């Protein structure tokens, strides 16, 4: 476990927050710092690895058996979400956790409470890795990165472990929906792949949200409030009206399982102009299209009411990968079996989010998603048990063994 922990701590120390306002690929140059490090570490292991101009690390571990086996890949993303700071991350390591509340930051009274997160209690006695209450942790998805790197090192150090050709991929910009926009699936060379980007131990997902992003600009007209009658148009009030017209029950706070939502992620305004950003999500394609249509109809209504002051930009992000994975369902079944071999109870469920695997599946690389072990992603209460990360690496090796045995 020390080798795995060392890798994880080394990777989270590198700031890799992606930037949704950037048009470059990758979106932030600092992502390349970790991508170069990973390429170099792979090469030092004796693995052929390269980093291309778009920020993709691709590596190949050659087969060490003559048996004809499909080439499989394992993929994780290096960027962290812009929702919280990813700079100067200072993880706290708590061996043999006693099951009590964890004080993340005494000065700021930030506490990871078991009453709020009772799922923590299943990890009593394990090694917990948390934040210091000032940043996110980066387990999404540097836990996945570390798990793949650990499995790769194991294979290189144990030539008796038989396997087919294995591909490794590390990507930037997953958190802003652009992780595999320029990923060359043919060059990668895998027939099937798995993203190590899920949550708690046992999670296995092959269906995800259909996803779109909405950017809204409201143009107001600022008049001195003493003389504003029939003249002032307050863009912030129109923005508030727009948000109030969305179904209250379809906000993240009230949704679960297969239920979709509208999520206001940012708002910035003055009387003169206001900008808003939303993400729109639903597992059901028809309901997803209905949500986009509703957003458009609300904008149309407000423009009729106030005179073309609202502009809407709707951008597709990804679709539900289920339709692309189900025809190759045996790759899901092998992941289930690999978990059972590691004494893990599989939790097959829909992703209430996205993954590079969604777009990759539509690009011809069927790609279910496997747990990386973390909880409370994208915020200061993020944590990951080290034992869950070890189990994820074990699952990777078990999947490789199953392909070796079953072809």
The residues that are catalytic are: 79, 174
Cα–Cα distance for residue pair 118/95, rounded to 1 Å: 19
Question: How is residue 319 written in tokens?
Answer: 């679709």
- Closest by CA to 217, choosing from 147, 309, 106, is 309
Question: How is residue 5 written in tokens?
Answer: 């922990």
Q: List Cβ neighbours of 355 (8 Å cut-off, separation of 6 or more).
A: 174, 195, 197, 198, 205, 208, 367, 369
H, E, C per residue of the chain: CHHHHHHHHHHHCCCCECCCCCCCCCCCCCHHHHHHHHHHHHHHCCCEEEECCCCCEEEEECCCCCCCCCCEEEEEECCECCCCCCCCCCCEEECCCCCCCEEEECCCCEEECCCCCHHHHHHCCCCEEECCCCCCCCHHHHHHHHHHHHHHHHHHHCCCCCCCCEEEEEECCHHHCCCCCCCCHHHHCCCEEEEEEECCCCEEECCECEEEEEEEEEECECCCHHHCCCCCECHHHHHHHHHHHCCHHHCHHHCCCCCCEEEEEEEEECCCEEEEEEEEEECCHHHHHHHHHHHHHHHHHHHHHHCCCEEEEEEEEECCCHHHHHHHCHHHHHHHHHHHHCCCCCEECCECCCCHHHHHHHCCCCCCEEECCCECCCCCCCEEEHHHHHHHHHHHHHHHHHHHHHC
Within a 13 Å sphere around the CA of 183, how many CA atoms are in the beta-carbon half?
32
Q: How far is CA 234 from the centre of its chain?
A: 37
- Closest by CA to 183, choosing from 353, 58, 321, is 58
């Amino acid at each position: 476990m020390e080798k795995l922990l060392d890798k994880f701590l080394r990777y989270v120390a590198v700031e890799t927050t992606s930037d949704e306002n950037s048009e470059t690929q990758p979106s932030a140059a600092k992502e390349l710092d970790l991508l170069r490090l990973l390429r170099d570490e792979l090469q030092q292991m004796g693995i052929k690895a390269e980093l291309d101009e778009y920020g993709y690390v691709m590596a190949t571990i050659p087969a060490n058996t003559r048996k004809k086996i499909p080439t499989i890949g394992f993929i994780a993303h290096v960027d962290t979400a812009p929702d919280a700071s990813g700079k100067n991350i200072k993880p706290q390591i708590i061996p043999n956790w006693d099951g009590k509340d964890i004080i993340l930051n005494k000065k700021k009274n930030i506490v990871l409470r078991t009453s709020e997160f009772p799922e923590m209690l299943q990890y009593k006695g394990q090694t917990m890795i948390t934040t210091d209450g000032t940043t996110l942790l980066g387990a999404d998805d540097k836990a996945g990165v570390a798990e793949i790197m650990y499995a790769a090192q194991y294979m290189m150090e144990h030539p008796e472990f038989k396997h087919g050709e294995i591909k490794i991929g590390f990507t930037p910009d997953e958190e802003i929906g652009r992780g595999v926009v320029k990923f060359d699936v043919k060059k990668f060379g895998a027939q099937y792949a798995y993203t190590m980007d899920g949550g708690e131990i046992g999670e296995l997902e092959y269906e995800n949200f259909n996803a779109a992003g909405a950017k809204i600009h409201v143009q107001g007209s600022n008049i001195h409030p003493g003389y504003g009658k029939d003249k002032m148009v307050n863009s912030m009030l129109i923005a508030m009206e727009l948000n109030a017209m969305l179904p209250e029950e379809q906000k993240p706070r009230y949704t679960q399982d297969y239920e979709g939502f509208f999520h206001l992620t940012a708002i910035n305004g003055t009387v003169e102009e206001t900008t808003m950003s939303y993400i729109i999500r639903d597992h059901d394609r028809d309901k997803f299209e209905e949500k986009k249509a509703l957003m458009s109809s609300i904008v149309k209504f407000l423009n009729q009411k106030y005179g073309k002051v609202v502009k809407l930009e709707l951008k597709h992000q990804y679709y539900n990968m289920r339709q692309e994975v189900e025809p190759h369902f045996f790759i899901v079944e092998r992941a289930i079996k690999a978990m059972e071999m590691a004494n893990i109870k599989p939790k097959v469920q829909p992703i209430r989010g996205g993954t590079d695997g969604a777009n990759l599946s539509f690009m011809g690389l069927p790609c279910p998603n496997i747990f990386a072990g973390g909880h409370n992603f994208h915020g200061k209460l993020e944590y990951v048990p080290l034992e869950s990360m070890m189990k994820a690496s074990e699952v990777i090796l078990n999947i490789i063994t199953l392909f070796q045995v079953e072809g």
